[in-house]
Structure 1
């Protein structure tokens, strides 16, 4: 089975995340999309980042109606700070019959050369890239790389930062969040302060 790993803090998960995940599930050769919730890095200031399990629960709420998309807490169990190359090695060991690929925005592709052991990642895993507005220049080595696939997914200009600020400012964010996530955020008074 070919699994696309879509990493994020998902703080909160919004319709843009779901649209991208569903696009890869339906319009690429990936069999499933695992939305990997990135845990809080203990070395960083917590700020507005919700508890790991609240964010994981919101991903469950947002994806429960999608057969090919599932939440993953795989990084919660790994030593922190963690690197993608370690997560991939752990997953490959745990699920040897699966083929794991990365899903990332073009903006992340621009900084891929700064990732720990990025050459090892590209040696063993394919990378699926979706377009972003203002993603900047792509590093030349990644332009025609055989392991990097550009996918014409919809360009969604929506960010969790914008949503958190909107909630704090008392704006209506209903169109931006899946219904279950909207209700969970409202019930718990998340992002109000």
Structure 2
């Protein structure tokens, strides 16, 4: 039996923006992935809070952003796992919980370059396909150690240079960034007065 192929798109999604959605939707529509799960990374209790919204607020934003996208699913799978979250442990947990699914990772080229620093990276790369979307390259940056690995699949997805950091800063400065967020996401951010005053 062919297993259902799920792409895991990890992020703090603080907040989720149209760049995240464009990439996730492209992966769901133009690759062999049947669904993309937007895995909200919980706040690490050992780290400074800074401007990271509470876990349930960021999950709510992802729910609102993905409503109407049948192949995009919000996921709080890491909320109940031990901190700090390591991708390898999340993958082991998911494999046990959903034996009929095949889980793949989705990441940007910048993350691929630093993949060798991840915990138990060999186990991840040997057992899971990794779908990589492009970022704007800097000429001085070297290719990652795993860039030519047979399980690494480069996807010709749109290059999105929107960042959540930029959005948070712009909101704190009173700028109108509504085109960068789904209307339902903007409504919640505005209603809750998120990011109006940043601590960093």
What is the TM-score normalised by the length of structure 2? 0.95
Per-residue displacement from partner, 1:105-151 (whole Å, max 9, x unpaired)?
Answer: 00000000000000000111000000001363212x42321100000
Match status 1:35 vs 2:38: yes
Of the candidates 152, 156, 160, which is equivalent to residue 152 of structure 1? 156
Match of 1:73 in 2: 76
d(CA) in 1 for partners of 2:113, 2:122: 14
1:126 aligns with 2:129: yes
Q: Identify the residue that residue 51 of structure 2 maps to in structure 1.
A: 48
Q: In the aligned structure 2, how far is the partner of 1:177 from the partner of 1:77?
A: 28
How many residues of Structure 1 are paired with residues of Structure 2 in the alignment? 192
Pick from 7, 10, 14: which aligns with 2:13? 10
Structure 1 regions of 5+ residues with no counterpart? none
Moved segments of 4+, more than 4 Å: none
CA RMSD of aligned residues (A): 0.8
2:67 maps to 1:64: yes
Alignment of 1:106-185 (within 5 A): 106-134=109-137, 136-139=141-144, 141-185=145-189
Length-normalised TM-score, structure 1: 0.98
More helix by share: 1
